[in-house]
Amino acid sequence: MTKRGFRLNGITVVPGKGLGKAFFVGRAIEQASTVSISRQDVGDQIMRFNEIREKAKGDYRKLLEKAESESSLDASILNIYEHILDDPAFIGQVVETISTKLYDLETSIRLVSSDFIKRFNSAGTSYFRERSGDMVEICEKLIAYVDLDEGRMKEFIEPVVLVVSRTFTPSDILKYNKDMIQAVITTSGGKTSHAAILARSYSIPVVSGISNLSSYIHPGDVVYVDADKGVVQVRPSSSLTGKIGKAPATDAQLEALRKKWDRPVYTRDGIHIEVLANISLPEDVDQATRYCADGIGLVRTEYLLSNRNTFPSEDAQFEYYTTIFQKMKGKHSIVRLMDIGGDKIPEFFDMPFEQNPFMGWRAIRIFLERKEMFKEQLRALIRAGKKHNYSIMVPMVTTLEEWLQAKDVIAETASEMNVTVPQLGVLFEVPLAILEMDTFMKAIDFASIGTNDLIQYLSAADRNNAKVNYLYNPIEPAFLKIIRIAIETANSHGKPVSICGEMAGNPYHTLLLTGLGLRKFSVVPRNIPIVKEIISHINYAEASENVSHAEAIISTNEMQTWLKNLNKRMLGDTLTKLPVTADV
């Protein structure tokens, strides 16, 4: 039994504090956390149960046909699976659990399967112990179908702390109602993983780097997460939990900044700097608007695929993009084509096994091979954008030839629809592309720099691996030289350039990036008024002059000290007065 006040130490990924009941994400059958439903949802859940049983039986029948033709598998095993799926006792208990206890389908399947397994194991014979393994297989199969629920979000009715006994992924957040997720504890996942970026945008604290989570935390345990310190307290005392909550002063500061910066921002010497928002879902536009975004610098469209069992139709995508554009009310939006791959692989997508998926078949590499998917997204996007202010950005471009192929497909699709090709740009995040950035300039309308993946590839440091976080540093001198050259290249060709990676959203980097010549920041919505406030205290010409001296610095530690001193010298106590949780 876990003791009261049991403390675990991990690594801060997203700062903040959260208190809730432990909910295990994943498919380990013994981790049967509970999600409740309303009485009116009972019928829908039972109908869904019958649907997924039929789908599972269909899968086993296909395997059975293959086994019989190839003699590759004992067909009796597959027959047993189908019998279990049709077992009146199993069906009856799941239906009863949904109907009387008002648990959702996933919870009910887990609980009933767990009960069957315990009974099989206690029977003591080898036959029943084998049936226990069969029950695990059936449970896993059904839960796999539950998770592909066509975008329907699962609703928590009380605050939870997600416990992820593997690498933290974006779908771990997107499949649930985010307002009830108080924090996340995960075995692995870096500060700039896509899941961490999402968590940060929703102000969900995350602690990573804790192994064997199920040995310390049980489903339903009350858990207090202090991600500011990288500490997790299991079954905390009431005196400790009483300390939880955001500081009222922090909330008041942010609200004051929000009201102040509902307008464009200029440096002290009159240079206009745009501060844009990074978003993932249409509802995120409300946050972008609330926090006074000058536009949208990055729409991550691949999150449209979350919780779906097929690629979304053109009409479904059209509705998604239309909602975003309408909410922006004429402000410019840059829409990134789907960056499928890496840690963003849809459940339905037939992705081949890869040793290193971040550097494998991904994004535009997939679209150039699966042109039907590529053109379906383009048609929906171009239809939705006809009367709106938008541009299209292509991720993971490596060579000019690859970009020209993608550009031809976009032009062909626009021609088929009898519309003008929108503004097109490249997300520079592959080292080869950014080193050849000058060759792209005549073929693009704008550029964006994806610092998250770019650092990963340049440093050979997996962004999800907490053990190599020390190598993943955006103020590494060699990296800053590349950023400087990229910004200067775009500016010299008169092409707009932004940074949409996490580096742009760190207030301690605002002065540095402004001095490097950046005039477009794209950040999580909450940080927009903070970044605007810092920019208003910067003299652009002085920042450029001071930052030019950074070229002489050769170590990351020296760069960190120099940047802290520069911020203090040029900004005074501005940073210390702001509700900032990041650091240099």
Residues that are catalytic = 194, 500
Question: ∠243-248-252 over CA atoms, to 5°?
Answer: 165
Q: Rounded distance, CA 90 to CA 553, Å?
A: 68
d(CA 40, CA 42): 6
Distance of CA 410 to the CA centre of its chain: 26
Structure tokens given for 148: 């592909």
Spatial CB neighbours of 448, under 8 Å, sequence gap ≥ 6:
297, 298, 334, 393, 425, 426, 427, 428, 497, 498, 499, 500, 522
Distance CA 153, CA 574 (A): 41
**CB atoms < 10 A from the CB of 330, how many?**
10
Judge whether 174 and 198 are in contact, CB under 8 Å.
Answer: yes
What DSSP line would sit under 393-447, residue for residue?
EE-S--SHHHHHHHHHHHHHHHHHTT-PPPEEEEEE-SHHHHHTHHHHGGG-SEE
- Strand partners for 185: 163, 207
* Helices and strands counted in the chain (H then E): 25, 17
User: What dihedral do alpha carbons 282, 287, 289, 293 form, nearest 10°?
Assistant: -100
CB of 172 closer than 8 Å to CB of 160 = no
Question: How many residues in total does the chain contain?
Answer: 584
What region, left, alpha or beta, does residue 105 occupy, with left being phi > 0 and alpha being psi -120 to 50 degrees?
Answer: alpha
Measure the CA–CA gap between 233 and 477, rounded to whole angstroms: 38
Which residues does 71 contact at the CB level (< 8 Å), separation at least 6? none
| Interacting residues of 218 by C-beta distance below 8 A, sequence separation 6+ | 2, 22
Contact 298, 450 (CB under 8 A): no
**Residue 20 and residue 267: Cα distance in Å, rounded?**
43
Q: Give CA angle at 102 (98, 108), nearest 5°.
A: 40
**Residue type at position 113:** S
CB neighbour list of residue 523: distance below 8 Å, 6 or more residues apart:
275, 276, 277, 278, 297, 504, 505, 531
Token reading at 347: 């459940």
Decide if 333 contacts 388 (C-beta within 8 A).
Answer: yes
Residue 297 backbone dihedrals phi, psi, to 5 degrees: -90, -15
Between the alpha carbon of residue 464 and those of residues 169, 209, 216, the distances in Å are: 10, 10, 23
